[in-house]
Amino acid sequence: MFRSAVHSTVRTSPIHSPLLLRNSAQRSLRARPLFTSTASSAKKGSKNITGLIAGLSGLALLASVLPTRKSVHNEAVRSPPSKVSPSAAADPEGKLISMDTVAEYNRLPSDGGKGLWVAIKGQVYDVTEFVDDHPGGRNIILKNAGKDVTELYEPIHPPNALQDNLDPSKHIGQVDPATIQIRQADEETEKDRKRRIARENLPSLGSVLNLDDFERIAESILTDQAWAYYSSAADDEVTKAQNRAAFQRIVFRPRILRAIGDVDSSVKLINSKGNGYTSSLPLYISPAAMAKLGHPDGELNLTRGAGKADIIQGISANASVGLDDMLDNRKPGQLIIYQLYVNKDRAASERILKKVEERGVNAIMLTVDAPVMGKRERDMRTKGEEVELGVDHGKDVKAKGGGVAQAISGYIDPNLTWDDIRWFRKTCKLPLYLKGIQSVEDVELAVKHGVEGVVLSNHGGRSLEYSPAALDVLVELRQKRPDLFDKIEVFMDGGVRRGTDVLKAVALGAKAVGLGRPFLYAQSGYGEAGVTRAIQILEDEIHRGMRLLGVTSVDQLTPEMIDILPRQFFPMPPKAD
């Protein structure tokens, strides 16, 4: 939750809970405007205000990712605040705006107020016209208008989010640093103390033997909010559990007395019918958002780790690191797939498609299984009162907020159809993979519409509860339409935790297998080194499994090497507290 002080800046971190706060006033003195207001830009008005979804959606997200203190003490003002008039505040000559002036803009004009302003990184922005478009609900903006939200906004947003998405006319001016208060937080809570001790005493990477070890470590060091976002799934989380259970229904039929001294786990992916691209392993890092909730370097850890291992990284559309930063950190020739959620504003999607094509991204992974967000209750509970019916200055309103996922997803077009494949083809020439296929019939339609690949997936159990496990769809596809594997590339994700899981999926016909949560957990504790270790664990398990199966290359993994046990429905997992 945002702090209650009107003009103070608290330095916190989604990873640590420091007692002393940094000197925000000094940082504000050094702050540079993200863009400069000009007379010409002012004429543009707010035509791009809906584009803020990719940038200012964090005002709801911020409330859910950082620890909350019960009180604030030891406040000190460097010098008496001095007001400037609103006209002077917007003066392009550079007059400073006091936080007292910002605080006056905390109510909508329809409620008798002057409007809604916020201060971010020493700059003041007008978000009045954005309030009803905010994907996390209007309440969180109304509650925090008139405040400095830098320390809540900054940790989980790309550095260029405002610059790319907010019309320059909405930049009001620079904050007078002399009016920013500095304060200390309370002593750390018992939960914060346990997290700090756990992070200070992380097990050595060499002692981490499997991906579940990374998950247990992450649970001990992440904030409740970050853990809920990473680990939560829809409703009772039955589908999430079934994703893993599905792999227990597949058993191997090993062959013996074969020369297995040397194994080659490399595969050709993306347009593999042509030249394709070589991946060292038949796996990839699935697009996974908000990596900075776990580690300051966020998705850069995933980019660097994938590059070192020569596997594909899927870049999330909702990444907490800027797209350019990730692409600048890839090594030459590194395979990148960009995940696209189609924006209600198609022009915004067209701009990003043009950009990733120009930057040399290898393919587009169009997410089709989340036209609306699933009901992720553990994530929603971290929003507290924002999930319930709120009060908008005395008026009852229904909050749109629903946790971190809701806060970053409100821009998604819920009316996407198969006909939009034509729109994509006109906009972008990159290979297209549909992520979120959950039936054989939709694989058939994907082939009919000429897409290059499909990703069998139920969004990690985070969308529709009781949707089929991706592995079960893969089995059904193999049984009913084995011919389609020669017409389209089939990827899958969901529930993969072992190298043997990868081998089972490949034997059924999958070209590559994606993992998301395990890499978020690995980088949360150990950064890039954790990602590298996770890939090494999977590589060892894949190579060891291939040798024990009696195969030396991926193309030798065939349906004859597995048996499928009768499908059972496993008990519902216990309810989370």
As annotated, the active-site residues are: 341, 369, 459
Q: Are 546 and 503 in contact (CB under 8 A)?
A: yes
Overall size of the chain counted in residues:
577
DSSP label of 37: -
- Are the C-beta atoms of 496 and 515 separated by less than 8 Å? yes
Residue 433 CA to residue 453 CA, distance in Å, equals 4
Q: In this structure, what DSSP letter does residue 264 have? A: B
Phi then psi dihedrals of residue 466, to 5 deg: 70, 20
Beta-strand (E) ranges in 247-378?
Answer: 250-252, 267-269, 277-279, 283-285, 312-315, 336-340, 363-367
* Cα radius of gyration (the chain): 25
Distance (Å, whole) CA 33 – CA 11: 20
Q: Residue 152: CB partners within 8 Å, gap ≥ 6?
A: 2, 12, 58, 62, 63, 66
72-76 and 453-456 strand pairing: unpaired
**Can you state the angle between helices 470-480 and 440-448, rounded to 10 degrees?**
70
479, two tokens: 């049984």
Give just the sign of the alpha carbon dihedral 428, 431, 435, 441: positive
Report the DSSP beta bridge partners of residue 306.
none
Strand order in the sheet with 123-126: 96-97, 171-175, 123-126, 115-120, 106-107
Alpha helices in 382-460 (DSSP H): 403-407, 420-427, 440-448
**Dihedral, CA of residue 499, residue 500, residue 502 and residue 506, to nearest 10:** 140
- Note the helical H segments in 222-322: 224-231, 238-245, 299-309
